[in-house]
Chains A and B, each alone.
Chain A
Amino acid sequence: NAGVTQTPKFQVLKTGQSMTLQCAQDMNHNSMYWYRQDPGMGLRLIYYSASEGTTDKGEVPNGYNVSRLNKREFSLRLESAAPSQTSVYFCASRDRGYRNGYTFGSGTRLTVV
């Protein structure tokens, strides 16, 4: 099925551990985004990639790194997880010039203990 695929769907980490959240889209979209959703906070932009080879910080980038591996894939890495990073993470992609065209993945629920 066409869309945005995120892996894993669930993850529990211990404080200080590292992990990478994977995201892939098969719609040939140029731009990709990582958001986090916290209770009462809505969706906040962590990092985005306007096109292959570029990445930029969003609203809440501290504690994260990203890699735009190719046009399809955009990964989010937590180098040293903290309890404050417990959240639901959503990856999204968008076609160039199409302002309605955000497609979101189904999310990764991350718990840091």
Chain B
Amino acid sequence: DQQVKQNSPSLSVQEGRISILNCDYTNSMFDYFLWYKKYPAEGPTFLISISSIKDKNEDGRFTVFLNKSAKHLSLHIVPSQPGDSAVYFCAASGSGGSNYKLTFGKGTLLTVNP
């Protein structure tokens, strides 16, 4: 059973507009959530994270929102730039001896058009 779900395989937006990538999770033991960005032929790189004790975390153009009751998080990119075009993975981890293993979603391919 997939514990982290990214239901949109792809998203296309215009440069300068907002990109919103969504992620849902099912495991109530997850208490830390991360977004990774991946370019072709490269490994994923960390983008932004949020702890379950918060509902928002902002870093420059990137903001992650967490709705614990809905088990939903989203990544907002404002304004979107062509260099943001990549696959974005949502990931989650739990505490309590899990060694902070990450469970990833399937990813969303973001294309930002000039």
Q: Provide the residues of chain B in CB contact with A41, threshold 8 Å.
A: 106
**For residue A94, which residues in chain B have a CB less than 8 angstroms away from its CB?**
100
Q: If A42-B106, A100-B49 touch, does A4 touch B101 (CB 8 Å cutoff)?
A: no
Contact at B101–A33, with CB atoms within 8 Å?
yes
**Is A74 interfacial (CB-CB < 8 Å)?**
no
**On chain B, which size bracket covers the interface?**
20 to 34
A75 at the interface (CB under 8 A from B): no
Range of interface residues on A (Cβ < 8 Å): 20 to 34
Contact B89 A50 (CB under 8 A): no
**A residues in contact (CB < 8 Å) with B:** 4, 31, 33, 35, 40-45, 48, 50, 56, 58, 90, 92, 94, 99-102, 104-107
- Which residue of B has the minimal Cβ distance to A56? B99
A43 to B6, CA, bound (A): 12
- The reply to whether A90 and B44 contact each other, CB–CB distance below 8 Å, is yes
State whether the Cβ of B93 lies closer than 8 Å to any Cβ in chain A. Answer: yes
Cβ contact within 8 Å between A31 and B99 = yes
Cβ A42 vs Cβ B107 within 8 A:
yes
Pair A106/B49 contact, Cβ less than 8 Å: no
Q: What CA separation (Å) do A104 and B101 show in the bound complex?
A: 14
Bound together, the chains give a CA A104 to CA B105 distance in angstroms of: 16
Tell me which of B43, B46, B105, B106 contacts A106 (CB under 8 A). B43
